[in-house]
Structure 1
Amino acid sequence: MLLAYRFREYIIIQGGRIIPNNDLVFQGVMAAIIISALAYIKQKKVLHLELNRYAFRECWPDKGLSRYLSFVPTALRKQMLWSVTQYNFGCIFFRLGKIDKAAKCLALMQESSTTAYNMLLALHLKHYIALYYNDYDTVISCANEASVIYPKVRHTTWNNKIFGDLQMYGAYANCFKNNAPQQVYSVLQSPQERPMDEVERQYYLYRAAIVLNDLESAERFKRYVMDNAGTTWYGQAVRENFVPENKPVNYPGYIIRTEMINSPSKVDNSRLKHMLLGVLIVLLFYIVPRLL
């Protein structure tokens, strides 16, 4: 009874607060929250920059894979955006020449890709694999489906790049479908800013030059690819003894239903936990000051 009385007296003295009204305590709590948030953001930014550099900008997908694998154990303890993770791994495996593994990543995206953004990523990976097998019909269909999806996504720098890739190589595929490989020189005439993209462009120019029997140009394109391909499969592909992988059993591995293209989900289900966490943080910022 005495303890209960003292506690009630304490609450009254503190003006209804359980924790004393101490500005230093409040400032300390807020500082700890801010420092933790900034540290997490910095770590995430460093990882993103390294992944982007090695896996998507420079021609070192093996380094990109090692960086990403070091991140996955930590990410598994949190909520992952599975479609993005599958896309990243798929692109890395593709550029390493592990087409079967890339196709398996693409197949996993069949279930995880419900938003327009996720579907755009899946089409990007799908068109890479189709280009590997000279499957021009699939490359063209990827470009056409992307044209429907693109207006429904945020026009970020990366999304713009993906859409541009799909349209450019859709036009490339059309050149071969229309028996006009000479037009590839015009379609792929613009140098690319990213070293990885430029190696890819030079490789497909090389392919067109071989078909056209333009041996001088073919040798120039080939030399560029050999000198700059890093650990990607393009450097091996321009050599005479290159043997491409067999088509995966489940090729092409990803099909978008018409209703999904026309009415994609508004929110990625894997983001729901992040949204709830955000709401909780906002509530804490609202409630904690009233307890102090």
Structure 2
Amino acid sequence: MTKHTSTSAATYSTHRERDSKMATKPSEISSVKMFGGYNKRFNHFSPALGCSMTFSIYFPSSPSPSHKFPVLYWLSGLTCSDENFIIKSGAQRAASIEGVALIAPDTSPRGLNVEGEADSWDFGVGAGFYLNATQEKWKNWRMYDYVVKELPELLRDNFPQLETSKASIFGHSMGGHGALTIYLKNLDKYKSVSAFAPIANPSNCAWGQKAFTNYLGDNKSDWEDYDATHLITKFHNVSTTILIDQGEDDKFLPDQLLPRNFEEACKNVNVPLQLRFQPGYDHSYYFIATFIDDHIRHHAQALKLS
């Protein structure tokens, strides 16, 4: 795979735009009632990414005007936007019951028109891999900073009904990879983590190798900073059980996801992990919708204990 080292004029222009702008106040795009609460979608300018971004929030029905909801971030997988989870998962029912707000960001910058950004479904647009790219061509791909720093600050400053200091994180596939790595590197920020079919050892699969080579370069030691199987050996002071569900009929299981590698790494450092293989289930949102209530309860318990 070709390593990109040059930066286009358009990218430099984007950098200047990013550096000269502050994050804008979120503008509401839509609002739909569900299980007594509301799915709301917002747009804002992101200085971290140098473009406009959308994100979705599910607000449960509030018991009082002063009530604050803990937040649960969902990170979606390859090709997804912020809407896939909100529309397909059915997570709102359990979130409403447990009193947890769901936050679903997009999966990459959009609209930058970087050459090659849409050439394949597993890299570029819709495939940010929740890292901070270091290669010049892809320097706007800073989804790690967006999820960990910018978005929480934006929520704190604009949504008083959210208790952003109480947060957990979960995700699917590429987003499961993002949830695991972000959690392990920020144990002080998140109360719990879970994942559906995560890319658990991206340094050793084609999806991860393609993304890491382009975003981070050829030095494989740099890849370890975004690989949960490697990170667990460094950040293993984990007391809350990590929950992972994996469909046994997932066609990506043998070559791309590699959960057994993560399981072995957790065993080596005594990190509590509940890895559940679900017979007959695949990689789709049918699988996610089936077990989403378990994950919501897993996080709600951790958030209530915090």
**Fold agreement, TM-score > 0.5:** no
What TM-score, normalized to structure 2?
Answer: 0.23
Structure number having the greater strand percentage = 2
- Larger RCO (CA within 8 A; separation ≥ 6): 1
Structure ID, larger Rg = 1
